C-alpha cells in the first residue's frame, strides 16, 4: 500500500492593511505597503477532512480593526467542507486569529500542544505585552472543551494520521506547532505563524510578535528540513500564497490548492 496523499486548501477569510515596518523585528527602513491575509487550511483525502486553525470571528476581527473577507464557515462550505461534521481540528496556537469560531465545530476534537495550553493559561498572561494576541474568550472556550473531553494534547513531534505529522517549534508562541502533509508533489509544511511571510524566512528576520526570536529562526530551519523545498513551505499570512497557487475556481480566487505546484 502506497503513502496516502492529501489535497490542501488555503481558505482566505480576512485582511489587514499594514506597513512593512510592522512585519519585521526591528522594523524595515523601506516602510512599504505589506498587508496581512488571514487563512484557515483544510487537509483532505477521500477518508477525512481535517481543519487547521479556525480563524477569528467577524466580531473579533471588527474589534481589532481586521477586515473579514468571507466568514470562515462560508469559505469552508465553498469547498464542500461541512464545518459541523468536522471531527478533527488542529490548532497551531491559541492566538485570536487562529483559535476563534470554535462553536462552528461542535463535534470536533481539537489538537494542540501541551506547551500552548500551559502558556495561554499561565503566568506569562499577566503581561499585556504577551497576552494581547490572545482572546480570553477563545482560551476559556478551549478550557471548557478540555472538560468536555474534546481536546487531545500533543507533546513535541507526533504522527497525527498516516501522511500527517505535527511538529512543535515554538517561537511565535510557546506551543506553536507546524504540520507536515504528504501530497502528490511531496511533503508540504503548513507553517502557520512559524513565518508570517516568505520574506520573514528569506531575510532571516522574525515577525515582531514572538515569544523567542531564536526559536522563530530555528523553526524556519526545522521547516526547511521537513519540507521537500522552500516552495513546499506555506507561511501563515502572506498574500503571495493566493497569488502563487492555483485557485479552486475562477469564482473563488482566494481559495487555493497547496498540494499543486505554485504557478508563479
76-122: pLDDT as tens digits:
999 999 999 999 999 999 999 999 999 999 999 999 999 999 999 99
Cell digits for 261?
505546484
- Does the CA dihedral 159-259-171-230 come out positive or negative? positive
pLDDT of residue 1: 44
CATH, domain 7-159+237-257, list 2.40.30.10, 3.40.50.620, 3.60.15.10, 3.40.190.10:
3.60.15.10
Query: Phi and psi for 113 in degrees, rounded to 5?
Result: -80, 140
41-70: pLDDT as tens digits:
999 999 899 999 999 999 999 999 999 999
199-254: pLDDT as tens digits:
999 999 999 999 999 999 999 999 999 999 999 999 999 999 999 999 999 999 99
140-150: pLDDT as tens digits:
999 999 999 99
Structural domain boundaries of the chain? 7-159+237-257
pLDDT of residue 3: 74
Burial tier of 218 (Cβ tally within 10 Å: 0-12, 13-18, 19+): middle
Its pTM stands at 0.97
Kindly state the average pLDDT of the residues 27-43: 97
Is the pLDDT at 2 greater than 80? The verdict is no
Share of the chain residues as helix, strand and coil, in percent rounded to the nearest 5: 30, 30, 40
pLDDT of residue 264: 74
pLDDT of residue 4: 82
pLDDT of residue 65: 96
Amino acid at each position: 500500500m502506497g503513502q496516502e496523499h492529501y489535497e490542501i486548501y488555503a481558505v482566505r477569510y480576512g485582511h489587514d492593511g499594514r506597513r512593512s515596518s510592522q512585519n519585521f523585528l526591528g522594523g524595515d527602513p523601506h516602510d512599504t505597503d505589506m498587508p496581512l491575509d488571514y487563512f484557515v487550511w483544510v487537509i483532505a483525502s477521500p477518508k477525512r477532512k481535517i481543519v487547521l486553525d479556525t480563524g477569528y470571528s467577524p466580531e473579533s476581527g471588527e474589534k481589532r480593526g481586521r477586515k473579514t473577507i468571507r466568514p470562515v464557515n462560508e469559505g469552508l462550505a465553498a469547498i464542500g467542507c461541512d464545518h459541523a461534521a468536522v471531527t478533527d481540528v488542529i490548532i497551531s496556537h491559541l492566538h485570536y486569529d487562529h483559535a476563534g469560531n470554535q462553536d462552528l465545530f461542535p463535534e470536533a476534537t481539537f489538537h494542540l500542544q501541551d506547551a500552548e495550553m500551559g502558556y495561554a493559561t499561565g503566568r506569562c498572561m499577566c503581561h499585556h505585552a504577551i497576552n494581547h494576541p490572545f482572546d480570553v474568550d477563545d482560551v476559556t472556550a478551549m478550557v471548557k472543551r478540555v472538560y468536555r473531553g474534546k481536546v487531545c494534547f500533543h507533546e513535541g513531534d507526533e504522527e497525527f494520521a498516516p501522511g500527517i505529522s505535527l511538529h512543535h517549534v515554538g517561537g511565535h508562541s510557546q506551543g506553536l506547532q507546524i504540520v507536515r502533509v504528504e501530497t502528490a508533489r511531496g511533503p508540504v509544511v503548513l507553517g502557520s505563524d512559524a513565518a508570517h511571510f516568505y520574506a520573514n524566512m528569506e531575510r532571516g528576520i522574525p515577525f515582531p510578535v514572538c515569544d523567542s526570536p531564536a526559536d522563530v529562526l530555528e523553526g524556519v530551519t526545522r521547516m526547511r528540513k521537513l519540507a521537500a523545498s522552500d516552495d513546499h513551505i506555506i507561511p501563515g499570512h502572506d498574500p503571495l500564497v493566493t497569488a502563487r497557487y492555483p485557485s479552486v475556481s475562477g469564482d473563488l480566487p482566494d481559495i487555493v490548492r497547496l498540494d499543486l505546484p505554485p504557478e508563479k
